Amino acid sequence: MLRRHSNNPFSNPVLIGALTVLVMVVGVVLAFQANNGLPFVPRYTLHIEVSNAEELTHGAEIHMGGALIGSVSNVTATRTKAGRPVAVIDAELNKNVEPLPVSTHFTIRLKGAIGEKFLDVTLGHSKRTWPNGATVPLGHASALVDLDQVLDMYTPPTQVGVQKTTLGFGQVLAGRGNDLNQAIGEFVPLVTNLAPVMRNLASPKSDLAGFIKGLSSFTAALAPVSTQEAQLYVNLDTTFKALAGVATPYLQDWIAQTPPTFQSVIDDSPTIEPFALNTATLFQKLAPGFASLNESAPELAAAFSAGAKNLPATANFDQQTVDLAKALAAYGQDSTVKAGLNRLTLTSSSLIKPLEYLAPVQTTCNYITLFLRNIASSLSDNIGTGTVLRTLLVIIDNDVVGGEGAPSSLPYTSYGAGGPSDGGGDHGLLHADLSPNTASPGEPAECSAGNEPFNPNTAVIGNPSTNVGKNTETTTVSGG
């Protein structure tokens, strides 16, 4: 019996197997080429210049707003027209994003903490756009700092410390999933209460941007002195190591005693306040002296230098001074001396009131000096028959009743009925101030002796009825 040969090509198992293998090969090729775009699909191509490709490689993904919009077909090294070396990223983008505004920015980012990178596109808003095949010059692309770059700024010992710390954190967290879940659940109230705080920070009135700019300026100002800051931390480490040796019990006791000390200061502050005020007043009065220290300091230094040279020669005098002080100390312990000092103290105390009363006689009115000067003049002024003081009483030789040379039962304060001739025209009315005011305690502030107004027709006995002031004659050392 003859077999009938079929004309259907799909009935051939060899052909079917070959087609199956071909389809699988095409599928594998398309799978491998999917990241670079499917063949025969039109693309929007841009050539992006960057100063550093940051390990971005062929086939890297390109995202915009989190969506995949293309891939990197090639990364090549070249130079700009000015000769600057750059890397050119050939970006194959989907046609639905064409054209991109010229203000669009490209950023090289990590897909994870450690792993491959991708190109992130931040869409701009300018009206000008990049045509297909355009070259995007430098300045439109940047790269974020990688974790390995952050770790590279630490020294090898620090990197080892970071590794050990990370390992320690991992061991600490291992097997504590339930506890972590519970802790995260406890954060729910925090997040709820954090919402109004975040709104306040986001408000323009909070000026968070200004704060961040100020912090940036502050950090920039610290950058030039970073070496000194590092040395500061090294010195602090040395200081803390030194303090660690006295932490127990000395620092511990000091910390324990600090609250009672502060409480004592608070309790005693009303008493300390006058002292602080007086101290402030003292420093205010000392301010002119402090201001003159620039000029006086060299003089004081010279005096101290001279004193240091002369001090050895005064050793014997110093010893004699010490011996004298010891002798005075022994003398002061004698009971008789103590009794005498007590009497002297009592006498001095008794003289306080009289001296307070008599002091203005000289300090204000200059009466004691004037009295001694006038007495000296009276004893030295010769009038032929003797000095003025010796002949004064001899000259007054009349015996008129009420006159100066005869006794009288009453002061001579007025003339008789006959006027001056009744009592004698040569005799004036009495002018006497036996207890003049001297500005002493309890008296008017005046120096009345020698300042009394004189009226030949009116007797004046005692201090004037009006204040005559404190003007007195001034004396000099020569007695003039």
DSSP notation for 349-400: HHHHHHHHHHHHHHHTT-HHHHHHHHHHHHHH-B-SSSBHHHHHHHH-----
The token duo for 61 is 């993904």
Asked whether residue 134 is assigned to any structural domain, the reply reads yes
Cβ(467)–Cβ(451) below 8 Å: no
CA distances from 114 to 121, 158, 365 (A): 21, 20, 101
Taking each helix axis from N to C end, the angle separating 367-380 and 388-395, rounded to the nearest 10 degrees, works out to: 80
Listed in order, strand segments (DSSP E) in 33-99 are 44-50, 61-64, 67-79, 85-93
Average confidence (pLDDT) over 326-341: 86
Burial 19-58 (b: 16+ CB within 10 A, else e): eeeeeeeeeeeeeeeebbbeeeeebbbbbbbbeebbebee
Asked whether residue 251 is assigned to any structural domain, the reply reads no
Spatial CA neighbour of 265 closest among 253, 256, 257: 257
Asked whether residue 50 is assigned to any structural domain, the reply reads yes
Q: Tokens 């006995």 sit at which residue? A: 461
Residue at 430: amino acid letter = L
- Pick the residue with more confidence: 480 or 16? 16
Cis before 85 (ω within 30): no
Residues 149-205 have pLDDT tens digits of 777 777 888 888 888 888 888 888 777 878 888 888 888 888 888 888 888 888 888
**Does the pLDDT at position 22 exceed 80?**
no
pLDDT for 40: 56
Average confidence (pLDDT) over 65-74: 87
Cβ(90)–Cβ(75) below 8 Å: yes
Helix (H, G, I), strand (E, B) or coil at 142: strand
Cβ(93)–Cβ(68) below 8 Å: no
pTM over cut 0.75: no
Cβ(119)–Cβ(61) below 8 Å: yes
Cβ(88)–Cβ(31) below 8 Å: no
Spatial CA neighbour of 445 closest among 424, 416, 466, 420: 466
- What contacts 446, CB < 8 A, 6 or more positions away? 437, 439, 467, 468, 469, 470
Residue at 346: amino acid letter = L
Share of the chain above pLDDT 90, in %: 3
Cβ(108)–Cβ(56) below 8 Å: yes
CA distances from 191 to 179, 180, 199, 201, 427 (A): 19, 16, 12, 15, 116
* Structural domains of the chain, count: 1
- Sorting pLDDT into bands at 50, 70 and 90, what band is 423? very low
For residue 100, the tally of other CB atoms under 10 A from its CB is: 23
Q: Domain residues for 95?
A: 42-151
Asked whether residue 100 is assigned to any structural domain, the reply reads yes
Q: Across the chain, what does the average pLDDT equal?
A: 80
Helix (H, G, I), strand (E, B) or coil at 432: strand
CA distances from 423 to 400, 403, 419 (A): 7, 8, 7
- Sorting pLDDT into bands at 50, 70 and 90, what band is 398? low
Q: Which pairing describes strands 85-93 and 129-130: parallel, antiparallel, or unpaired?
A: unpaired
**Does the pLDDT at position 470 exceed 80?**
yes
Residues 77-113 have pLDDT tens digits of 888 888 889 899 998 988 888 889 989 999 988 887 6
Rounded distance between C-alpha atoms, residue 414 and residue 384, angstroms: 35
**Does the pLDDT at position 227 exceed 80?**
yes
Spatial CA neighbour of 433 closest among 453, 409, 457: 453
Cα Rg for the chain, rounded, in angstroms? 57
Average confidence (pLDDT) over 251-276: 85
C-alpha atoms less than 13 angstroms from C-alpha of 417 in its C-beta half-sphere: 0
CA distances from 210 to 117, 197, 223 (A): 33, 17, 20
pLDDT for 135: 87
C-alpha atoms less than 13 angstroms from C-alpha of 223 in its C-beta half-sphere: 7
Helix (H, G, I), strand (E, B) or coil at 32: helix
